[in-house]
Amino acid sequence: MAAGQVIARIDDRTYRAALDQANAQVVAAQANIETVNAQTNVQQAQIAADQAQLAQQQAALVFAQQQAARYQYLAQTQLAGSVQNAQQYTSQLHQQQAAVDSAQATLKLAQRQVEALTAQRDSDVASLTQTKAQREQAQLNLSYTTVTADQPGRVVQLTVAVGQYAQPGTNLTMFVPDDIWVWANFKETQLDEMRPGPRAVPGRRRHDGDDVRRRPVIGQSAAQISARRRSDDHRVVDV
């Protein structure tokens, strides 16, 4: 088999449905964020309108205060006007003060709505991150349904057939790569006479009564080489 060639495929309908569901959840989470953004823009416009209304009511309150003070003075000095006029403008002053208080409350409510929308958006962004992670997991699970060869080789001991059910962890086949690499550890002092090309025969050799293959390799005093099999010989090709 060539590298990348499909060895086996598992029924992917369940995993594909899970991926479709994850994609839909991502789209829904993105839509929720867009909705909150639109609501926030509308609320910001409402805040601007409420601020203008408050400024208008505050200006009217200043005029009402001036009028009430003027007619109260005239009523006391009895130069002009009457007590009735003073009472009328005092009543208007109270009404205007109530209008200002109402405009301030409306403005604060609109500002609180923006804060609530900001918190909602943060929550939606977190949900979007979670749904994207779930989508990535679903994509990964779907990729597992196709088994491919990562390098040239042969499939041996095939134990499954089309339509057969396989439990998780079951060995379906064995893949033998065309190129076999042997990894060996050597001390740096043993590499002086090693060059690419000489034959390397793996086996168990003893040195000073110890098994070389079991001798510990410590820290930076060891180097690692790889040998590739060529026919019946083992040659060092990379150091």
What's the pLDDT at 136? 96
What is the set of domains in the chain, with CATH numbers?
A: 12-145 (1.10.287.620), 176-238 (no CATH)
What's the pLDDT at 30? 95
Q: What percent of the chain has pLDDT over 70?
A: 81
Question: pLDDT tens for residues 159-191?
Answer: 777 878 877 777 778 888 887 767 777 788 878
Q: How far is CA 153 from the centre of its chain?
A: 38
Q: Which residues pair with residue 228 across a beta bridge?
A: 181, 235
Question: pLDDT tens for residues 51-72?
Answer: 998 898 888 888 888 888 887 7
- Tallying the residues shown for the chain, one arrives at 239
Dig out the tokens for 58 from the structure: 């505050």
Between 180 and 116, residue with greater pLDDT:
116
Mean pLDDT of 102-123: 91
